[in-house]
Amino acid sequence: MSKRRNLRQRKKLRVAEFQEFGFLVAAELAEGLDAEARIAACDAFIRDGIEANQLTYAGAIVDRLDGFVSPEGNRSSSTEEHRRIVLDWLERRAEFRAVSVGPLMDAWYGDFTAVLARVADGNRESEGDQAARQS
């Protein structure tokens, strides 16, 4: 049974009507990119894929990007439209491959471990795909 909370408590805890959503994103940088091209791709992702759409990204970008996307500003929530925008942007860019965008999830109390595992599993190639690519 859930606790009964008043409006102030629900707002402070970001639950019920004040719940905020975001989503995980993962992608690999394409092989063969030199250091300058990798930096340019990462900068473009942040500038054009994230900030241009009034979003924020928290995460790492090394050989791949793994992070959490949420809207700019306090008390705001991501939508399916935000997910589509980021996914479409990454899929259009040749610098990124194995792109995966997770489902909307609670930005404060979500089960990040389980969702991150599902997103990462979506990026793994099967043994058959690896063999086909190598031949």
Of 30, 26, 23, the closest CA to residue 68 belongs to 23
Which numeric CATH code is attached to 20-123?
Answer: 3.30.70.100
Q: What's the pLDDT score for residue 10?
A: 76
Are the beta carbons of 96 and 27 closer than 8 angstroms? yes
User: Tens of pLDDT along the chain (135 residues)?
Assistant: 468 888 888 777 766 676 788 999 999 999 999 999 999 999 999 999 999 999 999 998 888 899 999 998 877 888 999 999 999 999 999 999 999 999 999 888 877 676 566 666 654 443 433 333 333
Q: What's the pLDDT score for residue 119?
A: 60
Of 25, 19, 17, the closest CA to residue 66 belongs to 25
Q: What's the pLDDT score for residue 42?
A: 94
Give the chain's radius of gyration (CA, Å): 17
Of 90, 83, 76, 73, the closest CA to residue 29 belongs to 90
For 27, 29, 34, 101, 129, the CA distances from 39, given in Å and listed in that order, are 15, 10, 9, 21, 28
CA 46 to chain CA mean position, Å: 12
Q: What's the pLDDT score for residue 1?
A: 45
Q: Domain extents for the chain?
A: 20-123
Q: What is this structure's pTM?
A: 0.76
Q: What's the pLDDT score for residue 124?
A: 45
Q: What's the pLDDT score for residue 132?
A: 37
